[in-house]
Amino acid sequence: MSQTHPTAPVASQRIAELIRDRILSGQLPPGTRIVQDELAEELDSSRLPVREALRILQSTGLVTLRANHGAWVSSMTLRDCTLSYQMRERLEPLLLAESMPLLTADHFDRLRALQAEIEATDDVEEFLVLDRRLHWLTYQAQDTGQLTHTVARLWDTTQHYRRAFTHLTARERKWITNAEHHLLIQALEDTDSASAQNVLTTHIRRTRLELTHHPAVFA
């Protein structure tokens, strides 16, 4: 009887992370077909770990597997993205509230350093990386399992549209984003949970509402 090679799960996870990075970086935009044989050849891998990696990414919403048609980078309609942002508006303040009591002075120092880097850059890709780090630093003090997993999925599956939107609106929105970040960090330092959650909700809602004015992002 054949046995699964003990390194197969590790290889699958490694390949899944590589594909995920390519999707989140924009190298593989929504609607791109992922050809298993080509990917296996590129990575000098058998097809099995590639297939398992795609299944892992399907479970996170980043990849869509179509019977007899292969794998594709998942795409969203404006309605899909709107619903995802509405979920974020409700779930992220809850995640923030769970993490907030465990934030330390070191967290606040790192948040302010990240915000300084955000204000110093005009590069959209760098901003997206720093913005993600800033928000997830406010959440990471408390790993709430399913809640953290759900929020991470919402961030990942909307990444492409956040990137396209930011390219279109970065200059006009920069001062608003910076102001809201400062308000959020200050509320966290003041241990003002209600204000921190309100700022975060407004921050997410603003992007959702402005996305509706840019339907071309979803073309």
The yes-or-no answer to whether 8-73 and 78-218 have a common fold is no
Tell me the pLDDT tens digit for each residue of 181-207.
999 999 999 999 999 999 999 999 999
pLDDT beyond 60 at 219: yes
Indicate the CATH number of 78-218 among 2.70.50.60, 3.40.630.30, 3.50.50.60, 1.20.120.530. 1.20.120.530
Provide the pLDDT for residue 161. 94
d(CA 11, CA 15): 6
Integer CA distances (angstroms), 150 to 66, 72, 84, 133, 144, in order: 23, 21, 10, 17, 10
| pTM metric for this prediction | 0.90
Provide the pLDDT for residue 116. 98
d(CA 56, CA 138): 27
Tell me the pLDDT tens digit for each residue of 94-147.
999 999 999 999 999 999 999 999 999 999 999 999 999 999 999 987 777 899
**What's the whole-number mean pLDDT along residues 165-175?**
88
**For the chain, which residues make up each domain, given as ranges?**
8-73, 78-218
Residues in the chain: 219
Q: Are strands 33-34 and 63-66 parallel, antiparallel or unpaired?
A: unpaired
Tell me the pLDDT tens digit for each residue of 33-79.
999 999 999 999 999 999 999 999 999 999 999 887 789 999 999 99
Which architecture characterizes domain 8-73 according to CATH? Answer: Orthogonal Bundle (1.10)
CB of 160 closer than 8 Å to CB of 26:
yes
For the chain, percent of residues with pLDDT exceeding 90: 84
State residue 85 phi and psi, 5-degree precision: -70, -35
3-class DSSP assignment, residue 119: helix
Provide the pLDDT for residue 3. 40
Provide the pLDDT for residue 141. 77
Provide the pLDDT for residue 172. 85
pLDDT beyond 50 at 171: yes
Provide the pLDDT for residue 6. 43
d(CA 128, CA 159): 9
Tell me the pLDDT tens digit for each residue of 5-43.
445 578 999 999 999 999 999 999 999 999 999 999 999
Its sign, for the CA torsion 201, 204, 207, 212, is negative
Provide the pLDDT for residue 103. 95
